[in-house]
Structure formats: structure tokens, C-alpha cells
Structure 1
Amino acid sequence: MHGPGSSGWLLVALCAATGAYCLLRMRSGVEEQRRAAGGEALMGFGMAAMAVPAAVFTPPAWAWPLWAVVFGAAGLHALWAARASARHLHHVVGAGAMVYMAVVMAAAPQGAHHGASGIPALTAVLLLYFTAYVLVTGARLVPVAAVAGGPGTGPGAGSGAGWGDRPELSHACRLSMGIAMVAMLLMM
């Protein structure tokens, strides 16, 4: 990806912070949330590593195929998990996007940037998917006015779940990674 310095560092910080939060979410008492958080932590840290500006660190040639293998394995794991829940299909698409970016970076000459030939079709499809995902996930974070006296409106509402189990925090985590994925796809 290796975009301009300041945007690259912002992307690194966003993805690393998201990965770190996802590691903390792995302490959840709910097994499904722990599993999802582990995959999201891998994505966050992987995206952070791929976004480091080239002026600071240029990965060796073997790093890109290694990333492709790691995210290919993560994608297969998510595909296996998708048998039980369709929610994992997003993880399959995310891992596939990471494999795609790693393969493109491995094939690109050192220091090559996006040319005048336009956006490749697969990049365009991934951009559309992640843009739609960001918009839908962002809409889920918009607060809805609670019905007076309804469940979850009293004092201490929501205090039964730990901070790592709060759905709005996991949505925010996924939203930030979706935004980072759009940025990385645009920098290709």
C-alpha cells in the first residue's frame, strides 16, 4: 500500500489501535465473540504492517507472499466458520482483499504506484463492497431514541455486559477497519 507518509502513519495507528482493542475483546466470556475478535485482531495488525510508509520500511520480497499465505489461511478459516453463521462471510471478503493486495504488491516493481490505466475491476468491486460496508456499519452506530420506560433505558442499563462485549464497540472496531480497507484499496 505504502501511501504518503502522514496518511500512511494515520492508517498504521488506526489499524494497530483496532488490532489492540480486538485483542482485548478476546477476553470476552462469549466464545463466538472471542473467535471473531481474534480474526479481527489479525486483520488490524496485518493492515497496520502493510500500511507502514515505504520511506520508513520496505518489506523484503518474501514478505508479500507470506502475507498472502497468512491471510489465505485466515480466509479459509472464516469460510469454514461461515457454515455456521453468515456473519463470517465479511471476514472471508476481508481476508480475500488482503490476499489480493499482497499479491498485487508482490507483483509490482519496487516503488511502483497506481498507473494511468485506471482501477482494476477487482479493486473496484472491493472498493464498492467496503464502501457499502462502512456506510451500513456506520448507520448501525447512529443512536436510536429509546422508548421511555422500555428495556435498557433505566439506570445502569447495559451494565450486565463487560466493556469488551458491548456491540457498539465491536461495530466501531469493524467500521474503523472497513475505513482503513477503503483507504488501502485507494492507495493501490
Structure 2
Amino acid sequence: MHGPVSPGWLLVALCAATGAYCLLRMRSGVEEQRGAAGGEALMGFGMAAMAVPAAVFSPPGWVWPAYAVVFGAAGLRALWAARSGRHHLHHVVGAAAMVYMAVVMAASPAHGHAHGASGTPVLTGALLLYFTGYVLLTGVRLIPVVAVAGGGAGADGHVGADGRAAAGWGDRPELARACRLSMAIAMLAMLLPL
């Protein structure tokens, strides 16, 4: 991607850390969690590789079409999975954004900025609006809710007073939301220079 080297490396670190966490979430006992975490891990590592500053490494020309194929396939898989739950539609949009960025990078001369004086392309603007809305909505959903006393296991995974076992750390919805939130913020940072 384009831009200064230091913020680029911070973006690489954020995306790689998110991808690594998503790999760990794949150990979940819940099949749907494992599937979503796998797609999110691919997205995190793909975004980390794409965010490496161009001043440090300029990938060969074949990389961008390969990105488009990989994330196109990931988008189709997410679209198929969306039959069982609408939350997979976010993965479809994320994969489409990655395909779009790969196509823009492949078409840009010397992988420079893809647009000139004409301003932000419509598709870039639409993706920026989507991810901005997603970040705001997910951020609001992460606001802590007061727990009912004695209502199950605590954050440490112990069994609560009612005898139910707590979900493992990989199955906690707030951690999955935080993971998606960090990738959506990174996606915004990557779309802005387009």
C-alpha cells in the first residue's frame, strides 16, 4: 500500500496480530466459530501482506491477480455460508474490498495512486461508507453491558452458580467483534489512499 512507512508497519502489525488471534479462535468447539475464524484469519494475513509499505517491498505484478483470485474464492465461500447466517455477508463485503484493492493495485502505474484529480471513485466511496458504518456499529456493540449477578461463569471460564460452563475464550462474542472491528478499521486505512 501507499503512504508513510511507520503507519504502514503499524497496520501490518495490527492485521497480522488479528490474523494470529483468528487462527487461535479456530480451536473453538463451535463449528460456526471455526469457519468464521478461518475466513477472518485469511483476511487478517492478506491485509497484513498488502499493507507492507511499498518503500520496503514492491511485489511482482503477478501478486495482485493472485490476491484477486484468492479473495474472490473467499468471497464466494462466504456468500455460500451466508445462506445459514447473515453475518457472513460482512465477510463477502470484506473479500470484495480485497479483490477491489488488488485490481486497483494491479492497474495502477508502478503501483502508485489509482486515481488522479477526479477524486474518490464511487466504489471506494461506497466501501468507505460501509466500513465506517460497520466500525461505528461494532464499536457501540462492544460497550460493556452490566452482567446479572450469579448468571453463569465469569470471564475466567469457571462454572457459575447455575452450573453452566462458560464459553472458552475463543467463543466469546465480544472478542470476535473486537477482531472484526480491528480489521474494519484497518480496511478503512487501506481504502483511504485509493
- TM bracket (short chain): over 0.9
Any conservation in 1 of the 2:15–2:47 contact (CA below 8 Å)? yes
Question: Per-residue deviation at 1:128?
Answer: 0.2
1:99-138 equivalence runs, <5 A = 99-113=99-113, 114-138=115-139
Q: Find out whether 1:24 has 2:30 as its counterpart.
A: no
Aligned residue for 1:85, secondary structure, equals coil
Q: Which has the higher contact order (CA 8 A, sep 6+)?
A: 1
Gapped regions of structure 2 (runs ≥ 5):
158-165
Aligned residue for 1:122, secondary structure, equals helix
- Which amino acid letter does the alignment assign opposite residue 175 of structure 1? L
Moved more, 62-71 or 80-89: 80-89
Any conservation in 2 of the 1:79–1:89 contact (CA below 8 Å)? yes
Any conservation in 1 of the 2:131–2:187 contact (CA below 8 Å)? yes
CA–CA distance in structure 2, aligned partners of residues 10 and 168 of structure 1? 23
Aligned residue for 1:61, secondary structure, equals coil
Question: Per-residue deviation at 1:7?
Answer: 0.9
Match of 1:80 in 2: 80
TM-score by length of 2: 0.91
Match of 1:185 in 2: 191
Match of 1:52 in 2: 52
Question: Per-residue deviation at 1:150?
Answer: 6.1
Any conservation in 2 of the 1:65–1:106 contact (CA below 8 Å)? yes
TM-score by length of 1: 0.94
CA–CA distance in structure 2, aligned partners of residues 46 and 54 of structure 1? 15
Aligned-residue CA RMSD (Å) = 1.2
Sequence identity percentage:
78
Match of 2:172 in 1: 166
Any conservation in 1 of the 2:105–2:111 contact (CA below 8 Å)? no
Gapped regions of structure 1 (runs ≥ 5):
none
- Which amino acid letter does the alignment assign opposite residue 130 of structure 1? F
Deviation per CA, 1:149-184: give whole Å up to 9, x if none. 3625xxx42422111111111111000000000000
CA–CA distance in structure 1, aligned partners of residues 58 and 2 of structure 2? 9
